Amino acid sequence: EPEVTQTPSHQVTQMGQEVILRCVPISNHLYFYWYRQILGQKVEFLVSFYNNEISEKSEIFDDQFSVERPDGSNFTLKIRSTKLEDSAMYFCASTYLSGSSTDTQYFGPGTRLTVL
């Protein structure tokens, strides 16, 4: 069964460093998302991406964050200058835009980001 994949599974970085989290969405999906989950807290929406541009973003997704689909398969989240409070599990998700399944988002296994 097709699935969303994410790399790395765990990333440790120093405060102020740039990180890039990578995702490969399910191949025929057209809508992509990033969410984060700080330990012990809710899953929070960051950004959605469709047709090579950001569709929606939350207040969390400030100028330190950017997303890109550099080729036909990868979808990346970049954090330019990490802060301690960016430590969280970051999930990528994707959706196939057709019929009744348009809202069903399929999640990857996540990247645990630890900022020291």
Partner 1 sequence: EDKVVQSPLSLVVHEGDTVTLNCSYEVTNFRSLLWYKQEKKAPTFLFMLTSSGIEKKSGRLSSILDKKELFSILNITATQTGDSAVYLCAGTSGSARQLTFGSGTQLTVLP
Element (H, E) at 65: strand 65-68
User: Is residue 77 within 8 Å of 65, Cβ to Cβ?
Assistant: yes
Which of 35, 75 has the CB closer to partner 1? 35
With contacts defined by CB under 8 A, name the span among 11-19, 21-29, 44-52, 66-74 that binds partner 1: 44-52
Assess 73 for contact with partner 1 (CB under 8 A).
Answer: no
d(CA 33, CA 46): 7
d(CA 79, CA 62): 10
Which of 58, 74 has the CB closer to partner 1? 58
Assess 100 for contact with partner 1 (CB under 8 A).
Answer: yes
Which of 14, 41 has the CB closer to partner 1? 41
Which of 27, 104 has the CB closer to partner 1? 104
3-state secondary structure of 39: coil
How do beta strands 111-115 and 10-13 pair?
parallel
Applying CB under 8 A, the residues found at the interface with partner 1 are 4, 31, 33, 35, 41-45, 48, 55-56, 58, 89, 91, 95, 100-101, 103-110
